[in-house]
Each structure stands twice: as structure tokens, then as C-alpha cells.
Chains A and B, each alone.
Chain A
Amino acid sequence: MGRAAETFATLFFLVTLTFALAHAVPDGPAYAILGLKAGPDRVRALNAQLGLDATVWGQYATWWWHVLHGNLGISYLQNRPVVSVIGAYAGRTAVLYSVATGLAVVAAMGLGWLHGVFYRSWPGRVCSAIEIFLYAMPGFFIATVLGMVFSSWLHLLPAAGMVDLHQAAPGFGDRAAHMVLPAASIALFVAPWLARIFAQGVHEELSRDYVRTAQARGVGFGSILLRHVTPNAIRPMVTMLGLSLPAIFSGNVVVESVFDYPGIGWLLWRSAVAHDYPVLVGIVLVVGVATMLGNLAADLVNAWLDPRVTYAA
């Protein structure tokens, strides 16, 4: 009860704060929509059309009433229901981040094993240096460099979008090619800190008694590493991945913007710039719920990996 109530209270507070902040900005969507032709009469007419002529708290109450009926409103920019807008963009982000997370986990485990096993010797130090180097790189820098090298210079991969619009019916290969650079950018950004967490776990587990016992019984090092050390060392990484689910849903605004990838991060940024309040608040709500579910998923996976772990309801 305690955790559930806390989660919902946090969600309520977060959405209320976002709604209040979005409406506290002095200029409104009418000016962004109407541009230079935003004369007072037209602004008034548009605000009435969008329901923005009511008080902020009136709009807030209406918004919650609609949410309770499964309606997050209509996007001012796209004139479509917010639920379908967010659904379309979130779907693309989920695909992108699933691929990126897969790549990141594989890279992190490879690097983490090497780093953990040779923790105090030079291969471990080289791994550590690589991790710190990549971790220090801002996401936009990694994305820009990858785009410049593999798209602009080598012309190996497309730099933007999801498909080649020259083709009327783009195939799977084209879609996959468009995903390589954004996924690699995210993976390169995420993998270093996952690798460090995993390496630390591997290093600690390798010094435990059960490892010495297994070695004394003649179990091979590879088997110890894979069957005994890894399941224990991977748990903190799983927790961190669970906590990063909000990022998966909110998207990496920078990477999605650099590669013009129409995911939820791109949508968040566009909605903020254009004062598309219904979409903006809708994304906050969805990300809040995702955070809640992410924490829950991490708890469940950890409990599955280690039966000693239990959580209060």
C-alpha cells in the first residue's frame, strides 16, 4: 500500500507541476500556431477553439476528467488524439531503444567481463580508460561524430529519418540501416556505465568464497564466470536498466533530434517548443507510469535472480 500510494502521489504531483509550468509560460500555443499573423482577434478565436479561454485550473480539471475517461486530449499541432500521437512515437522509441539496449548490454558485458577479470592489471585499466572516455562523451557529440563519419564522409549509412523517402515502399533493410547510427549512439552512451557496474560486480564476485570453492573442486574458470559469477554480477546492471526505462520512454532528445528520428524524445522537444500542452503533459504522464513500471520490473527480475530478495507491497 505504502509504495503504491507513494508512486501515485508522485505521479499526481509530477503531472500537476508540469501542467502548471506549461501554462505559466506567458506566451501560449496560439502565437506559435499563428505566427506573424497573430493579431488579437485571431488569437482570441484560436484560444476559444482550443479551449484555452478557460482558467488554467478549469483546464486542469477538464484535463483530469478526460484522463479518467481515457482521453488525453487533442494535439494542437497534429490535430489528432494525444493517445494515438504518443502511441505512434513511443512505439518507434521502444523499437530503437530495445535495439540500442541490446547492443549496450552485449558491449557492456564483453567489456565488463574483461575489466572485472583483469581488474588490477593492464587489460582492466585499458577497459576502464575506454569506459571513462566514452562515458565522458556527451550524447550529442557521439551522435554527431558517428553521423559525420559513417554518413557524410564514408556514405555507408543514412544520417536521418526512419526510411529513404525516395522509395514509395521502403523495406526492412532500409529501416534497419536507418536505425544503426541512432542505436549505436545510444548504446555507446549507455554501455560504459553499465560496463563499469558489471565489471565491479564481476570483480567482487570473483573474490568470494564460493568461487575459491568451485576452483578447488576443479570447475573451469569459464564455467565459474558464466554459471556462477555472471548471474550475481548482473543484478545491479538489471536494476540500473530498469531505472533507465523512463529514459527509454522519454527518449534521448538529443540523439533523436540529431538523427531526426521520430521518437518520443523528438516529440517531447517539438511539443515543448510549440507549446503543444496536451502532448507535453501526456508524455509526462506516460513517462511517470513507465518509471513506476520500470521500478516494478527491476524489482521482479531481481527477485527472480535472487530469491532472497523480497519487497513490501
Chain B
Amino acid sequence: MRGAALLGAALFFACAAAPCGTAIIPDAIGIGDPASPAGLNPLLATDPYTIQVATLLYRPLVWIGRDMGFDHARSLAASVQALDGNTRFRVVLKPWRWSDGAAVTADDVLFGWERIEKLGDLFGAAGQGGIPDRVASVRAVDARTLDFVLKAPVNPDWFILNGLSLVYAFPRHAWGDIGRDEMWRRQNDPALFAVTDGPFRLAELRPERYFAFVPNPLYGGHPASLARLVVVFREGGGALHAVQAGEIDMARVPYALWQLLQGTPGFRFYVLPEPFGYGDLLFNQRSANALFLRDVRVRQALAVAVDQAKIIKLAYHGFGTENHLPTPTEPATWQSPSAAATRYDPTAARAMLEAAGWRPGADGVRRKAGVRLAFSVLTGADPDSSEMEMLQVLQSDFGAVGADMRVRVESFSQLMQTLNAGGSDWDAANSPWTTPPVPDGTGVWNAGGGINYGGYSDARMDRLIEDSVSQPGKAAMFQYQDYFAGQLPGLILPQGKQLVMAAARLHGVEEFSNAAGYWNPESLSVDDPACRGATPDGPRR
């Protein structure tokens, strides 16, 4: 009895202890290359960096956990229930409070939903998870309950994980009737983001430089251990240099430097999951120069010509996973176990090209009816990046079976403009893609999809993709992938894991980031003499 009382008292004081210490992290941790967050409004975010900082302030109805599933502990929603044949989703909110003490209500979620509708095409994640187009209406049932009524039945996993993870509560009492233009204009205005329901509040905002956050004492979830979290933007290798100089506490490490830096005193090293997505070599079905890329036999031959193990070894120094499907491998929750295996076999690739009528020319490049099996790959990768090393491996592998691949480098924004133009002046493009938690192919591989840059169009693929988002379970998702594995509108390539170097004083790095790049900064704490015994987890090592 006495022991229980002591334990209770200890827990009380531990939980009541003040947050302590400062951690400085670059914004590239978790996903992608360094870039500066555009602002703090999660609805306007089109990049993971903005989402990362915005979700420190606002938590969506559904938080994606490290297993890429519904993380109930960190979500605003206490529960989500699919009703009426998956056409109605009842969301019950947790009894959270805004940082100014007001209750977070269903009306605040409704207000957030209305902001999504007001933004229209400026809503950064428009289309993902059926938001907002597949939703017929959103109704507040009571102060903490809402109903999302859909126009047609959907795959509940897809709607909950892809859709409801995009819906936030915003403080109607603090924001007023803010419209599209004002939201855009004030996406960096600290005054607009003063009232939050997430684990942090904004302390200081220096656009393009750094954002500083302090804990929100009224946050309804697990409280932050840190007294201050600073997210800095460091271009290129600046973050690595800064972490070594002790100016920041965490940085990504290039694959080539990983072994060299091991054992550096005062640091710990972490291998974090690959970004939730996949790399691909997207074939342009409209290419005037490489009409042969429309021939599925050529695409299949090119797929088996690629030695993914060599890519992982040379470009990612062993830190990667082979992948042949348009779904992530880590975690492989949505990877179809029944898809036809694509194995590296250059002999088979040559035979497949022979069978398709492509004969070796005098220069080693195959020809058919006077056409050379030659194409270029458009990329926005930096010359010294792992992606460029991967393209060199591809060049070598394709060359070995008689295909001549050239690399065409453009700046990233030029690349995006070229892809958007929908022209016939490019043959293939290389780009890494991040996918939503349920990695459906909507928008990417369906005809007329917003980012179906290659113009791939196949009625059966369209139907399978639609099935994957409208039918419950994984079966339809697997069928889509199985068909994709035969069609190969793009050649799926491996991605590299993320290598991170962090100051030894920083703890909780493994739990900090998930594969989607979402941050759990509540997990971070620092080993500061002033903090010993002051954090909820007790003394730090």
C-alpha cells in the first residue's frame, strides 16, 4: 500500500516536472533533402517540411504512427467508426483544449473542414484520401462527435489513414471567418498560429532560417520533455557541418561518409527507415523519340535488366531494400505478396528484347526497323547524389543488354515544368515519390491523374486503382499491384534508408521520426545537467 502510494507520488511529480533543455534539429530529418518550410498552415503544405512543423502546433484527427497505421495516442480523434456500408465515418474527439484554455470541439473540426473547402486547389493535399471531393457533407453530431458522409462507399483504411489524417481542428474563436486569400497571406504570421492544440506553441519564427517552439502546457497528449525545440534550415551539407560544430543536435549523413564518421566522440548514429514511398523511372507514353517505351515487352525487359542489389550496394552503401512494386517496403504493409517477381536476369532481358524484334547493332545498341533502342532519362538530382549514382548503374545495366540510356539533368523546378507540360520531348524521368499511408495509385497511374506525368492510360489499371480505394481490405490493393508488375508504366527502383548523426546528449531519436516523415518530438529529451531528474522519464544517461 505504502509502495503504491510512493509510486503514485513519484509518477505525479514526474509527470508534473517542467520540460527542460533545448534541441536544435534540421528540417531534413525524416524525409527528403533540405528545404525550408513554407509556413505553419498544414492545409497549405505541399511539402513534408511544412507538415513537420505545422503538426507541432496542430494535430490531425488521425495521426500516422511509426507502423504507418492509426496512432491513437497522438491523434485528436479518440475513435473513428465506419458506418452505413463505409459511407459514413463517425469521429469522436478527445477532450483536448486549445492553448488558450478553450475546449477543442466538433465545431472547430467543422471550421477546419470549411477552410479546406475554401482553399479549393490551394489545399496542399487535394485529392488524397478523397479529400474533399468524395465527401458529401460533414456534420457535428454533438460537441465532440462528427459525421463525415461520403458520396459512395470507400475502403475504410484508405479514408481514415489517407483522408482523415489531413483534417484538422482550427480555433474558430481565434481565427474568425478567415478566407482563402487571408490564409495564404498569413501562412507565416505568428499571430494567426498563437492558439494551438498540438504539443508545441510557436515561440519565434524566422522564415527561411529557423522556427522555435515551446511546449503547449495544455496539450492533451504526452507532454514534451524539451523546454524548447528549434527547427533550422541548413542548405546542402551545412547541417552535417553544424552538428559536428555543436551548433545543432542532429543531421543526416551522406552514405559515403557514414563509415568515416562512425565512432566520432560525442555522437550517436542511427539508421532510420526509408522515406515512405518508392523511386521510379517513369516512362513517357507520349515520347516522340522513344515510341518503343509504349511496348510492354520492352519495359519488362528493361525491368529484369536492372540489378537492384548493385544499386543498393553502390548508391546506398548497403542501406536500402529491393523494390519492384509501387508501394513502400518499410513497412511493407501494403506490398502485394502475389505480384510476379522481377529478378535481375540480363540473359532473360536480352532474350525478351530479341523476341520483341530488337537486334544488336554494330555499336552494341539494339535496333528495330532502323530505330535505336536509345532513350534519355530526365532528372533533377544533384550531380554528386545517390540518385545520380543509381542512374549510372542503370546506364551500365541497360547498356549490358543493348539499350542506350542517357542522363538529362535539369534543375528540379525545370524538371517539374517539363513533366507538367505533358509534352513529347522527354522519354523517361527519375524521381523519388512519397506515398500516402495507404499507397494507392490515385493520381499517379490512373488516366488523367493529376501527377500522371507519363500519360499512362489503361482502363483495367484505372478500375483496379478505383477498386483499391473503394473496396475494404487489402485484396483490391494487391490486385492493382499485381497488374502493375506486369504493365510497368514505370520501373520501380529502391530507395535508401536515412542515416542520422545526433549529439549524444539527445535521446529518443529512434522514436522521433516515422517513415512518412511525421515527427514525434515528444520523444526527444536532452542530457543537460540542469535537466537531470527534471524530465518525466527521470535522469538522463
Residues of A within 8 A of B (CB): 26-29, 31-46, 49, 74, 77-80, 147, 151-152, 155, 158-161, 164-168, 257, 260, 262, 270, 275
Contact = CB atoms under 8 A, between A and B. Distances in A.
A79 B207 contact: yes
B142 interface: no
B38 A33 contact: yes
B124 A168 contact: no
25 contacts: A27-B413, A27-B414, A28-B417, A31-B417, A32-B412, A34-B46, A35-B412, A38-B46, A40-B422, A40-B450, A41-B121, A42-B450, A43-B420, A45-B122, A49-B184, A79-B39, A79-B184, A79-B189, A151-B245, A152-B245, A160-B245, A165-B248, A167-B22, A260-B234, A260-B242
B423 to A, nearest CB: 12
Contacts of A262: 206, 208-209
A80 to B, nearest CB: 6
Interface string B32-59: 0001101100000011000000000000
B186 interface: yes
Contacts of B247: 158-161, 164-165
A35 B416 contact: yes
Contacts of A80: 188, 207
Given A35-B47, A41-B450, A270 B208 contact: yes
Interface in B13-35: 22, 24, 35
A177 to B, nearest CB: 12
Contact of B22 (A33, A43, A161, A166): A166
Which 3 residue pairs of A and B lie closest in terms of their CB atoms, listed nearest first?
A45-B121, A39-B450, A31-B413
A158 B234 contact: no
Most chain B CB neighbours (cut-off 10 Å) among A33, A155, A161, A167: A161
Contacts of B208: 77-78, 262, 270
Contact of B24 (A41, A78, A166): A166
A147 B228 CA distance: 28
A28 B124 CA distance: 18
Nearest to A161: B247
Given A31-B417, A159-B245, A79 B451 contact: no
B210 interface: yes
B230 A77 contact: no
Given A27-B411, A160-B241, A270-B208, A36 B420 contact: no
B244 A42 contact: no
B512 interface: no
B413 A32 contact: yes
Contacts of B47: 35, 37
A262 B241 CA distance: 17
A215 B113 CA distance: 88
Contacts of B120: 45
A36 B434 CA distance: 9
A42 B121 contact: yes
A240 to B, nearest CB: 32
Contact of B188 (A78, A159, A167, A257): A78
A164 B189 CA distance: 24
B432 to A, nearest CB: 8
Given A35-B35, A80-B188, 7 more contacts: A27-B416, A79-B184, A79-B188, A160-B241, A160-B247, A165-B212, A257-B235
Contacts of A167: 22
Interface string B382-415: 0000000000000000000000000000011110
Interface string B171-198: 0000000000100111111000000000
A42 B126 contact: yes
B528 to A, nearest CB: 9
A166 B20 CA distance: 12
A13 B470 CA distance: 59
Nearest to B432: A36
B451 A36 contact: yes
A165 B238 contact: no
B431 to A, nearest CB: 7
